[in-house]
Structure 1
């Protein structure tokens, strides 16, 4: 192996956009010297929304300041508010609950599937009550949630369906892209996501034009884009940056190839790790249907020992969400006494993610897999 191959393999590399340095610098100058002097919500943002929407088969896209604010804006546009409840996963990122609370509603936590780590539709169904207004399933790590089941659940109970697809851009389930199973979905463009950029940003995607218009108004202090300083609703500041829009337009054509590389790496890992299930390390389910390889996450009985072993081998790893959401101090006040989420709490103890970003070399991929397989299981 070369010296480069023997160097530490970071979980996320510090040079994610090094290959686009010249383009980014050119776009920075062009944005800063443009005659329009629009640094937010200008022609680049409009073009980016249009092009991303076209790539999704004609969806309405509203670029926002972050994936988190996108969730909040959609909930507000759906008129979820005080007195309402929203069923959310018990395992995942804080905005699943905080966005619900930010519009005055209450998150109700449902347990997850113990293998895929996505919210279990049967557990979610048990949490539906007279105040339930919406379902908020989320895709996790490398597996899309069971959106056909959630779509049916929402239809049967007359609920709004918002899809947190922040980590799943590029995933497809039954021919439908992640983000377009519910009334709306959200993407995150933070650096390490599948369509990340060098900054904060996100988007709402929907086929409901009226819902899209409402979100577009709410992201800009309730203004409709036609008359400044006329505020039709109480809104937020969640506007998209023109430089980032231009950069994402540049990178959009290469997204499919980057996603394909992620999937190929994941396929190799899954094949290598299949024999480890009987030894306490469980890989994600195999296959490509409903997959979105943002990160590749193992379930390890001895997670901390495995993490230390990988570090000694020069492989960085990361334990996401080491505490179930309802056990977090911020959200514990909204939990009913005696409630429990055993699968979520097991995942919080066992989940360990390893590198899967597209510019890993073949040698690095083999080295990572070798390190996992060489773990002393006994």
Structure 2
């Protein structure tokens, strides 16, 4: 559900790549006329992977076709399959559960923490059984999951730890970049993400060179580089586009500034909204550690009324997950009869995302904050 007025403060910036239009056109021409005629998994993809690998100090970065396929590749590379269970959050994006089910394994849903809306480590630990092979926390909106707790949990029970960091590129928790807490993490480059691009794409990031090599093989139908039509495993077609690789490399130098602007906006919102907690509008937990600023989301007691109020004054908002994952028909077979996830259900009822993209002006940000504050105080 998106409330988008004809003019005002857009939730998604309409001219996101306008400043880079010339560079994009040049890249299309360069790749299209390159004598190599290599449009996927070429030297530009290798250069982009190397850029991220060096920036993150990761052992490997493997570019693939989407953040969703990145999750699927990691699970396959860890040999998770039929008979296995993977603990995932009950609140979040469909690939959390679908990527597990796609391997033949069973997604097991854990409830979330009420403030960060990320998976509750205590709830997850209660769900560990003899069939549990992995735990897959996800960073949510602008807050990273409690990864130190999940590292401890995985260590205690001998579980694989997969980090769904698709929304968290640029986030850092206790000095460790998002994606590098578990055995592998992922980023998504769909245009609305913090380092988005005009198309689909993602990467697997890891500190484990052997795991990275297996993901690299699986992303291209189980083939090793330089050995076409020799298949070592049943893989996927999850290859990265050369045009996008060159364009992402071009834009990457500006990523820190874009992220810093998002952080500035989020900090201002939180400062303005913290006093509203007792008035039915609760902001994310304060502080910069473990923040990713993909989406800024409040929990509103009267969400529909707040969304309508903002839309009437020219501000677009967005509801991402109107129901918990196990409440969807697709995942109902994995939901135990009578089971409930009360915090996930509350988050689904109350969350409302506000514009936080880097192209907002100070005046627009203040306008959004003023409207939210006026709504909350006017209803007190």
Q: Could you say whether these structures have the same fold, taking a TM-score greater than 0.5 normalized by the shorter chain as the test?
A: yes
Smaller-chain TM-score range?
A: over 0.9
**What is the rounded CA distance, in whole Å, between the counterparts of 1:275 and 1:234 in structure 2?**
54
SS of match in other structure, 1:271: helix
Alignment of 1:1-378 (within 5 A): 7-375=7-375, 376-378=378-380
TM-score (ref. length: structure 2): 0.97
**What is the rounded CA distance, in whole Å, between the counterparts of 1:315 and 1:174 in structure 2?**
34
**What is the rounded CA distance, in whole Å, between the counterparts of 2:59 and 2:21 in structure 1?**
30
**What is the rounded CA distance, in whole Å, between the counterparts of 1:95 and 1:265 in structure 2?**
29
Compute the displacement of 1:9 (Å): 1.1
Residues 321-341 of structure 1: CA distance to partner in whole angstroms, max 9, x if unpaired? 000000010001111112111
**What is the rounded CA distance, in whole Å, between the counterparts of 1:7 and 1:363 in structure 2?**
15
SS of match in other structure, 1:185: strand
Unmatched segments (≥5 aa) in structure 2? 1-5
**What is the rounded CA distance, in whole Å, between the counterparts of 2:181 and 2:162 in structure 1?**
8
Compute the displacement of 1:253 (Å): 1.2
**What is the rounded CA distance, in whole Å, between the counterparts of 1:53 and 1:355 in structure 2?**
30
Unmatched segments (≥5 aa) in structure 1? 1-5
The answer on whether the counterparts of 2:326 and 2:335 sit within 8 Å (CA) in structure 1 is yes
Compute the displacement of 1:257 (Å): 0.9
SS of match in other structure, 1:128: coil
**What is the rounded CA distance, in whole Å, between the counterparts of 2:119 and 2:335 in structure 1?**
17
Match of 1:3 in 2: none
SS of match in other structure, 1:352: strand
Residues 270-314 of structure 1: CA distance to partner in whole angstroms, max 9, x if unpaired? 111111111100001111000010010000000000000000010
The answer on whether the counterparts of 2:66 and 2:238 sit within 8 Å (CA) in structure 1 is yes
Compute the displacement of 1:226 (Å): 2.0
The answer on whether the counterparts of 2:58 and 2:205 sit within 8 Å (CA) in structure 1 is no
> Which stretches of structure 1, 4 residues or longer, exceed 2 Å deviation after superposition?
none
**What is the rounded CA distance, in whole Å, between the counterparts of 1:274 and 1:69 in structure 2?**
37
Aligned residues between the structures: 373
Compute the displacement of 1:8 (Å): 1.4
**What is the rounded CA distance, in whole Å, between the counterparts of 1:73 and 1:316 in structure 2?**
35
**What is the rounded CA distance, in whole Å, between the counterparts of 2:274 and 2:59 in structure 1?**
38
Q: RMSD of the TM alignment (CA)?
A: 0.9
**What is the rounded CA distance, in whole Å, between the counterparts of 1:367 and 1:7 in structure 2?**
14
